[in-house]
Amino acid sequence: MMLNAAANKLLRGKSIAAQVFSNGLADRLFSSSSSSRKLDGKVAVITGAASGIGEATAKEFVRNGAKVIIADIQDDLGRAVAAELGADAASYTHCDVTVEKDVAAAVDLAVARHGRLDVVYSNAGVIGAPAPASLAALDLDEYDRVMAVNARSMLACVKHAARVMAPRRAGCILCTASSAAVLGGVASPVYSMSKAAIVGMVRAVARQLARDGVRVNAISPHAIPTPMALGIIAETFPAATAEEVRRMVTREMQELEGTSLEVEDVARAAVFLASDEAKFVTGHNLVVDGGFTVGKDLLRNPPSST
């Protein structure tokens, strides 16, 4: 009798399992989140989205179900990216991030066009001039220019994103910093200072905006072979060929063997932070550097033991 009862229980269990699978519930229970559209229904403003990291992020956001406002000063490139993504998914607006009213207008455009704003990714930035041989030759006018684009504009984006998001008690703000904010000697003092300012600002405003349900995070990528990065390396090493310049960025400035950092890697990091999968992540600086800032060998070329 006990064996019969056990057998009947097992059969009932199999019947329930079969019904679950036949109703399609298995697909929902066991489907991978990586195959879902992580930003479905979300609306985003991305600055500097006409090229480089911003362009890759705009495409990755749309691929994951978001609608995006491409905000940039590169009008032809920005319109081309928006056209490629489709009128329903993307719009372009001219936005000089050093002009606060342009930033405010980009935010307002998202709300006017889509009725909401879920994500602002403050990504626009400049590398600036190569570091002078001596700090005594540092150009403070260049410092003011770089800080205006890289730091002040980020705070403007946070300000106007919060203006819309705080009343809704929801939203996500992202800011592009850099590995230069974490490790000295990666870039010029001016650029490094501008990016370190972003990380400090993110921590400060994340604390305040947490009370309004708004998350704020930074992304710190290492060297990527974007036109901007390749250009500054070529300017720093004028005798180098184009191939040598690219190798400096993709190999000599990297730590993780067998791969190299691409704009799509940063874009996917942004998708994660903007998604509900990161709903409890705020005030964080996500370093995307293949371990470059983790540490360095004491001796790059140790003497032979023989």
Give, to the nearest 10 degrees, the angle between helix 189-209 and helix 140-147.
30
Q: Which residue has the tokens 């002078």?
A: 132
3-state secondary structure of 48: coil
| Residues catalogued as catalytic | 191
Q: Strand 43-47's sheet: what is its strand order?
A: 90-94, 67-72, 43-47, 119-122, 171-176, 214-221, 285-288
Whose CA is closest to 107, among 116, 166, 99, 51? 116
How far is 194 from 243, CA to CA, in rounded Å? Answer: 29
Q: How crowded is residue 176: how many other Cβ atoms within 10 Å of its Cβ?
A: 25
Residues near 7 by beta carbon (within 8 Å), at least 6 away in sequence: none
Measuring CA to CA, how many Å separate 145 from each of 66, 107, 236, 262? 33, 23, 19, 27
Q: How crowded is residue 261: how many other Cβ atoms within 10 Å of its Cβ?
A: 22
Q: What single letter denotes the amino acid at residue 18?
A: A
How far is 190 from 30, CA to CA, in rounded Å? Answer: 49
Q: What single letter denotes the amino acid at residue 238?
A: P
Q: What is the DSSP letter of 233?
A: H
The helix/strand count (H/E) of the chain reads as 11, 7
